[in-house]
Amino acid sequence: MSGSKVYPMTFEQESVWLAERLSGESSRYLECWAYRLHGAVDADAVQWALNRIVDRHECLRSRLTMLDERLVQVVEPVHTTTLEHLDLGENGLDEELHRLAERPLDLNVSPLRAALVHLSPTESVLLVQIHHAVVDRWSLDILDEEFSRLYSARVTGRPQELTPVSPQMGEYALAQRAAGLDSAAVDYWRDRLHDIPVPLSPLADRPPPAAPSSRSGVHSFTIAPELGRQVHGLARTARTTAFTVFTATLAALSCGYLGTDETVIGTPVSRRADGDLDGTIGCLTDFVPLRCPVPARQEFAGLVAETRTTVLGAMTHGSLSYAEIMARTGVRRRLRSAPLCPTVLGLDDDRVGRLDLPEVSAERIEVHSRGKGALQLDLAVDKDGYDAVLTYDRDRYDPPTVRRMAEDLCAVLGTAVAHPDWETAEILSSNGVS
């Protein structure tokens, strides 16, 4: 490792690394940065821009591994990202992109892989597959800006000055370790999770297989603008957020399927409160578990208020990593191989995503790999409504089941926001969920 720098992993990296090892499913923790490019793309400039980005951000040329029984990130002094070239017509494009997105990445070798799919002389798709251990959604916006500026500099010959990256992920990890754990957060999670039952995935067609196959499916649907406006109206009345209303609805639906009075939903929380991290690519997002009680005889407005308290508590104490939550509360020991958060909910209310390239127009495309749970619901604001994607484990769910879930979610949400004074059981039964 001559010339390499060795740092401890960040707490967030540890969470992802350990979760991947425990699940045995490497493709569950991958992200994709992908654009459809219209115009004659300079492939050499693409390669050059990607390599400059890797040069700038140490985590993109780091190996995450175990060294002397310690989890570490090893920053290599030089790493060249090889741009893979593939020729393909329009037929089979979606399947090919999905295949590229799910190829395993070995963190002991490199956390990213890049491909340029040529559809015609003036149509192509750039797909960069990046392990979640070194990237979060914010990081993809940083990639947008830096790639745009560097590619443009290469093809126009006009240099671009980029601000040096500080802190790098290794420096951030050292600062984390020096600060130590928040004792109040440890106490909060111990109290919150001490008697948690084994969570169940709602309405699964089959139990988890002994050997997961990493097969995933995707079901896309929309939440109409009118329904989106009603969600925001209820959120304003309840002095909370649309995310809380969606969480309460998903919790109610899950409990309705299972016949239980509580469920656990995982959700990402960002650690970018410090503005100094705004320009740093890295995994600065971790999961927190939302333990959601859903009394059948409680009005939906009351459920939203209780969910608001749950969300605020989790976010307030979100400094404790998921790995530390599992270890210090004893949950990992009690649940053994069962996941704490089989259902995951994410909401992106500030989706931008664009490249500004000379003589090339770019359209961001979502290429979904494995979800972070058996079921993952991702919502992205689209004017007043939402684009919704359910990513699901095909070992456990069949497509008709997932379509039914999406339909039930929209129906239950519509009834709940129109009649927040109705009891949860009444809302579920009126939509055929019980």
Question: Tens digits of per-residue pLDDT, 373-403?
Answer: 789 999 999 888 999 999 998 888 999 999 9
Q: State yes or no: pLDDT of 91 exceeds 90.
A: no
Tell me which of 28-42, 111-125, 332-346 is least confident: 332-346
pTM of the model: 0.88
Residue 371 or residue 254, greater confidence: 254
Q: State yes or no: pLDDT of 313 exceeds 90.
A: yes
Q: State yes or no: pLDDT of 78 exceeds 90.
A: no
Amino acid 338: pLDDT: 66
Amino acid 23: pLDDT: 65
Tell me which of 42-46, 54-58, 217-221 is least confident: 217-221
Question: Do the Cβ atoms of 372 and 344 come closer than 8 Å?
Answer: yes
Q: State yes or no: pLDDT of 352 exceeds 80.
A: no
Rounded-to-integer distance, Cα 149 and Cα 155, Å: 10
By DSSP bridging, strand 30-38 and strand 123-131 are: antiparallel
Strands of the sheet containing 5-8, edge to edge, are 5-8, 70-75, 62-67
Q: State yes or no: pLDDT of 26 exceeds 60.
A: no
Rounded-to-integer distance, Cα 389 and Cα 370, Å: 12
Tell me which of 257-266, 285-294, 318-327, 346-355 is least confident: 346-355
Amino acid 395: pLDDT: 86
Query: How does residue 71 score in pLDDT terms, banded at 50, 70 and 90?
Result: very high
Amino acid 99: pLDDT: 87
Residue range 239-266: mean pLDDT, rounded: 95
Q: State yes or no: pLDDT of 223 exceeds 90.
A: yes
Rounded-to-integer distance, Cα 233 and Cα 391, Å: 28
Q: State yes or no: pLDDT of 259 exceeds 70.
A: yes
Amino acid 8: pLDDT: 96
By DSSP bridging, strand 112-120 and strand 83-87 are: parallel
Amino acid 271: pLDDT: 85
Rounded-to-integer distance, Cα 74 and Cα 283, Å: 15
Question: Do the Cβ atoms of 392 and 216 come closer than 8 Å?
Answer: yes
What are the residues whose beta carbons fall under 8 Å from the beta carbon of 410, sequence distance 6 or more? 221, 223, 227
Rounded-to-integer distance, Cα 113 and Cα 81, Å: 7
Residue range 404-419: mean pLDDT, rounded: 97
CA distances, 307 to each of 239, 297, 304, 411 (Å): 12, 15, 5, 20
User: Average pLDDT, whole number, for the chain?
Assistant: 90
- As a whole-number percent, the residues of the chain with pLDDT over 70 amount to 93
Residue range 171-177: mean pLDDT, rounded: 93
Nearest to 404 by CA among 390, 383, 418: 390
Residue 32's beta-bridge partner residues?
A: 129
By DSSP bridging, strand 375-382 and strand 343-348 are: parallel
